[in-house]
A = this chain, B = another copy of it.
């Protein structure tokens, strides 16, 4: 049984703050500062170039990949970290498209991150005008998986509402049509149990600065199903994805297994911060996280609906359909969120009217939820959001 009081004690949480925005940027694992400072002084400072081998820097991308892999149901050796989520989306979709050389359509939905759509749009423009990015409403995805679709690219948990796609059934449906799947786990990894292997997923990508608490700009990750890896041509064919990176051959030969999805020199300082965060994840069972997350989100919804009648639930009511976040609609949601932040309850706002709250059992408990609701209720009941200051302040990301 995961000890959430123990995990909470391992985070730095500022006094007077209830942090319900871990789905944007996870808070600081207390060990991260010292771990990074030690790496900088003892490894970079003392080992210099030899740190790549002596300090094990070169093994960080796959080592961290395996630690994340445990949380998302990935086979050992099937996940590697590096770059940004945008780059990993590009890599995954570019490789997936080549597995269906006779098709030209990437199917996605309007609930996906705009950033994922931008990357695919850019890729397809490079590939030629016969390629198409087809974006449908989230509820229409299943009906649009037709035999001209090369790649189905979906984000499992909607970043605005927390609505979840059914990875298993959509993957099955895709495979029945000969379509390759790319799953974005940005709001899944560390939020809900994911079973990539059990769902027979093809590609998956995600970031580590949200629920995984890797720090601002922490590296992304990519998963390729082991049954596919050897057939995958890396479009971003970097030297660290080469079969022999230090041979300095002029010709590219893809590396073994997931290593081929490495691109350039890995960001060792960021990866060291992420390592500190993964120490906490190594203590955790995702089933416990899910159970606790549902308990917290249910409590929040029940309490808010009882005391804040102006807020309308935007997330699915059924916890099985919902990630680890709760969103409410309110026309003046931007101002209300500013008022909340001013009182120490940090959530975020997504246009046009979504107030979004992330629930992260590693460091948020039921008492935090009760306290947050009390402040929200006060703000809503007494219209504390209704001041020019909150209405015009520049939006915090």
Q: Which residues of A contact B (CB under 8 A)?
A: 12, 14, 17, 19, 21, 24-25, 27-28, 32-34, 36-37, 40-41, 44-46, 48-53, 57-58, 83-87, 90, 94, 110, 113-115, 117-119, 121-123, 125-128, 135, 207, 209, 215-220, 233-239, 242, 246-252, 263-271, 273, 341, 346, 348, 350-351, 394-397
Asked if residues A250 and B135 are in contact (CB atoms below 8 Å), the reply is: yes
Considering the complex, give the chain B residue whose CB is closest to the CB of A118: B252
Most buried by B among A44, A114, A235, A246: A44
Rounded to whole angstroms, the CA-CA distance of A86 and B235 in the bound complex is 12
Copies in the complex: 2
Asked if residues A239 and B36 are in contact (CB atoms below 8 Å), the reply is: no
Chain B residues near A251 (CB-CB < 8 A) = 121
Chain B residues near A125 (CB-CB < 8 A) = 233, 235
Q: Which of these, B85, B127, B252, B269, contacts A216 with CB under 8 Å?
A: B269
Chain B residues near A25 (CB-CB < 8 A) = 44, 48-49, 51-52
Asked if residues A269 and B268 are in contact (CB atoms below 8 Å), the reply is: no
Asked if residues A119 and B236 are in contact (CB atoms below 8 Å), the reply is: yes
Nearest 9 A-B pairs (CB), nearest first? Answer: A84-B264, A122-B237, A115-B239, A86-B264, A217-B267, A216-B268, A28-B45, A86-B238, A118-B252
Asked if residues B87 and A265 are in contact (CB atoms below 8 Å), the reply is: no
Rounded to whole angstroms, the CA-CA distance of A252 and B122 in the bound complex is 8
Considering the complex, give the chain B residue whose CB is closest to the CB of A24: B49
Q: List 24 A-B pairs, Cβ < 8 Å.
A: A12-B45, A14-B48, A25-B44, A27-B44, A27-B48, A32-B44, A33-B45, A49-B346, A49-B348, A52-B216, A53-B396, A53-B397, A57-B216, A83-B264, A84-B265, A86-B263, A87-B236, A115-B239, A118-B242, A126-B235, A127-B127, A217-B269, A246-B395, A267-B267
Most buried by B among A110, A113, A239: A239
Rounded to whole angstroms, the CA-CA distance of A189 and B274 in the bound complex is 29
Chain B residues near A135 (CB-CB < 8 A) = 250
Considering the complex, give the chain B residue whose CB is closest to the CB of A57: B216
Chain B residues near A126 (CB-CB < 8 A) = 94, 126-127, 235
Asked if residues B14 and A46 are in contact (CB atoms below 8 Å), the reply is: yes
Q: Which of these, B36, B118, B233, B249, contacts A36 with CB under 8 Å?
A: B36
A32 in contact with B28 given A14-B48, A83-B84 (CB within 8 Å): no
Asked if residues B119 and A237 are in contact (CB atoms below 8 Å), the reply is: yes
Asked if residues B49 and A114 are in contact (CB atoms below 8 Å), the reply is: no
A87 in contact with B263 given A40-B273, A216-B44, A270-B217 (CB within 8 Å): yes
Asked if residues A45 and B84 are in contact (CB atoms below 8 Å), the reply is: no
Asked if residues A396 and B49 are in contact (CB atoms below 8 Å), the reply is: yes
Asked if residues B215 and A40 are in contact (CB atoms below 8 Å), the reply is: yes
Asked if residues B36 and A19 are in contact (CB atoms below 8 Å), the reply is: no
Rounded to whole angstroms, the CA-CA distance of A218 and B58 in the bound complex is 14
Asked if residues B94 and A83 are in contact (CB atoms below 8 Å), the reply is: no
Rounded to whole angstroms, the CA-CA distance of A12 and B37 in the bound complex is 14
Asked if residues A36 and B28 are in contact (CB atoms below 8 Å), the reply is: no
A269 in contact with B346 given A126-B126, A250-B114, A396-B49 (CB within 8 Å): no
Rounded to whole angstroms, the CA-CA distance of A54 and B325 in the bound complex is 25
From residue A13, how far is it (CB to closest CB) to chain B in Å? 9
Chain B residues near A36 (CB-CB < 8 A) = 36-37, 40, 269
Most buried by B among A46, A123, A238: A238
A14 in contact with B270 given A36-B36, A238-B86 (CB within 8 Å): no
